Amino acid sequence: MTPPLFADPSANHAREFFRTKPRALVDKVMTVKDAVAKFVHDGEYLAVGGFGAARLPSAVCHEIVRQKKQNLTIAGHTATHDFQILAAGNLTGRGKLIAKVDIAYIVGLEARGLSPQARRVIESGEVETTEWSNYALAVRFKAAAMGLPFLPMRSMLGTDTFKKSPAKEISCPFTGEKLLAAPACYPDVGVIHVHEADRFGNCRIRGTTVADPDLARASKKLIITCERLIPNDDIRSDPTRTLIPFYCVDAVCEVPFGSYPGNMAYEYFSDEDHLRHWLKVEEDEAEYRKFIDRYIHGVSDFNEYLQLCGGMARMQKLRQEEFLLNRSVYV
Amino acid sequence: MSTAYNPMELMICCAARLLENGRTVAVGTGAPCAAAMLAQRTSAPDLVVFFEAGGVGPQLPTMPISVGDSRTFYRASMATSMADVMETCQRGMMDYTFLGGAQIDAFGNLNSTMIGKDYAKPKVRLPGSGGANDLASLCWRILVVTNHDKRRFVEKLDFLTTPGYLNGPGAREAAGLSPGTGPYRVITDLAIMGYHEETKRMEVLSLHPGITMEQVQGNTGFAIAARAPLLTTAPPSETELRILRDEVDPFRYIIGRA
């Protein structure tokens, strides 16, 4: 049996959608609560930007859990803390928040260890999955950003990762060499955290971009959270720095420290204590329920969560760590 | 300074010695990153380090925690995209990569996806390929640094996530992977392994001081032979240990794990 394709790769279907997408230069600033209510719906395909716990749109992930969205398909592209947050929705929501996953990297938080809750969700067998590599998912977003149904690439061949994926093997029409055809992925909703955006959605990112400029263009609907709103004049004074243009964007939400407890380059480092605590508390289901009730369901927005995590004093410490003013981070 | 060393310190030194000056290497966090940093401070000052999230040629101030954190592009030559890094590999410009996994077999294939028999309901779900499959498919030489035990060195993987020599000579090329690529060295707490030129099976090149072939075989779940002449691994030098402990990992984030 061929593994299922969770996202329609048809470039023609995508064009029909993009034909109707608004292009006007209008104010898109709204709260995270309103953005999630308006643009994330049950049963949709969700792709989260950043790289694991680096430049993570945490506030939107929390809000999706808080609003108890369900039956989402997730792009598991280096999905570490984001996947861990969303996995709460399979316990504290209306049913399955995560119903299907295109897996390149999930469950783990890199060197920090595996998430017990994310493991429970996947090992229960209640989630339908297919396998990919990180580059394959990046190529799938790139194909969509290019308005194509697929792109060729040269990994995954010969492995079980390929067998559990709906990717296909093709021959190069010029050289006859075997290639992998990675189907385009046009997510229903993309969510990306950036350093700066104007009210219309023109975005600046500092540091590594991961797959986000392609993800932004591939997504049918796009929610941006930003550290800072900046004037449109700033954007126009140096347009070379715009990595995501306004016409890709549907919502702009200003969320200072919005990648917390993840790292935000040139702003603040990751809160390793909080991430360690989160992993630890997942070991006991009753304790974990209390934790999620307190930190996600018990607050009305992300700022209240930041207050619970130590507020400005904590953010100040993480900023000092980012600037290497305190080298004892790892003690 | 004590010249006594622990197994992790030896493994990092062995890995660092393999990295030639002026080459490129794609690394993750942990021991591989420590090895690249040590190499840059000893034999390979012009080694270019890449991280798959987009960090290129950083001057690492501390050990990164994540392959995507801001340390991975601190004072870097470029902060770019994952696709740019992977496509640099795909063009044939990445000489080395370091990988790991829960299981490795005699052909250097790796499993980082699951433990168990049923894919739909795994006994233990692991992260998956991440960038490992890409790096193993696209870089010239694959290096593995791992602890040596029977649970890890297995006859048959539960899931073949990442390609080594697949099922033997010619299999990578037949599958469509780039000619001339593949597993190169495996460095463990017991020995350094390579691969037989004809059979593509793992073989022991060098035993660490005080380790016997019997110990290596006893901790390996498949038959493993030694390549003649079987060497003894040089212990870490005083200089290597000093740089590793004082500059590379002063907080013993990696070397303290042994």
Contacting residues of B for A327, CB less than 8 Å apart? 62
Q: Judge whether B146 lies within some domain.
A: yes
Paired with A128 in beta bridges are A100
Active site residue B52: yes
For A261-289, how does the pLDDT look when each residue is reduced to its tens digit (9 = 90+)? Answer: 999 999 999 999 999 999 999 999 999 99
If you measure CA to CA, which chain A residue comes closest to B137?
A155
The CA distance from B189 to B121, in Å, is 33
Provide the whole-model pTM: 0.97
Instruction: Say how many domains are in chain B.
Output: 1
DSSP state of B242: H
For B1-51, how does the pLDDT look when each residue is reduced to its tens digit (9 = 90+)? Answer: 678 999 999 999 999 999 999 999 999 988 999 999 999 999 999 999 999
Q: What CATH code is carried by the domain that includes residue B84?
A: 3.40.1080.10
Interchain CB contact of B82 with A (< 8 Å): yes
A133, A210, A330: residue with CB nearest B134? A133
- Structural domain of residue B102, as residue ranges? 7-257
The CA distance from A133 to B99, in Å, is 14
Contacting residues of A for B124, CB less than 8 Å apart? 119, 123
Residue with tokens 């243009």: A245
B61, B70, B132: residue with CB nearest A266? B70
DSSP state of A240: G
The CA distance from B196 to B108, in Å, is 11
Q: Which two tokens stand for residue A245?
A: 């243009």
Q: Is residue B167 a contact partner of residue B85, using CB atoms and an 8 Å limit?
A: no
pLDDT of residue A331: 38
B29, B70, B121: residue with CB nearest A207? B70
E-strand stretches of B35-150:
48-50, 55-56, 78-79, 96-99, 103-104, 110-111, 114-115, 124-125, 141-145
A128-131 and B103-104 beta bridge pairing? unpaired
Residue in B52, B87, B155, B203 annotated catalytic: B52
How far is the alpha carbon of A324 from chain B, nearest alpha carbon, in Å?
8
| Domains parsed from chain A with CATH numbers | 11-330 (3.40.1080.10)
Contacting residues of A for B121, CB less than 8 Å apart? 123-125
pLDDT of residue B94: 98
Q: Judge whether B180 lies within some domain.
A: yes
Helix (H), strand (E) at residue A98: strand A98-103
**CB atoms A159 and B69 under 8 Å:** no
Q: Which residues of chain B have pLDDT under 50?
A: none
Q: What is the mean pLDDT of residues A145-162?
A: 98
The CA distance from A160 to B38, in Å, is 35
State chain A's mean pLDDT as an integer. 97
Rounded to two decimals, the ipTM of the complex is 0.97
A255: phi then psi, degrees, rounded to nearest 5 = -130, 90
Q: What is the mean pLDDT of residues A140-156?
A: 98
Q: Is the pLDDT of residue A329 over 50?
A: no
pLDDT of residue A327: 60
Q: Judge whether B32 lies within some domain.
A: yes
Q: What is the mean pLDDT of residues A324-331?
A: 62
Out of A10-19, A100-109, B245-254, least confident range: B245-254
Helix/strand/coil for B67: coil
Q: Which two tokens stand for residue B33?
A: 């990153």
Per-residue pLDDT band for A328 (boundaries 50, 70, 90) equals low
pLDDT of residue B2: 78
The torsion region of residue A38 among left (phi > 0), alpha (psi -120 to 50) and beta comes to alpha
Q: Is residue B188 a contact partner of residue B217, using CB atoms and an 8 Å limit?
A: no
Q: Judge whether B52 lies within some domain.
A: yes
pLDDT of residue B251: 86
Q: Judge whether B45 lies within some domain.
A: yes
Q: Judge whether B1 lies within some domain.
A: no
Q: Judge whether B2 lies within some domain.
A: no
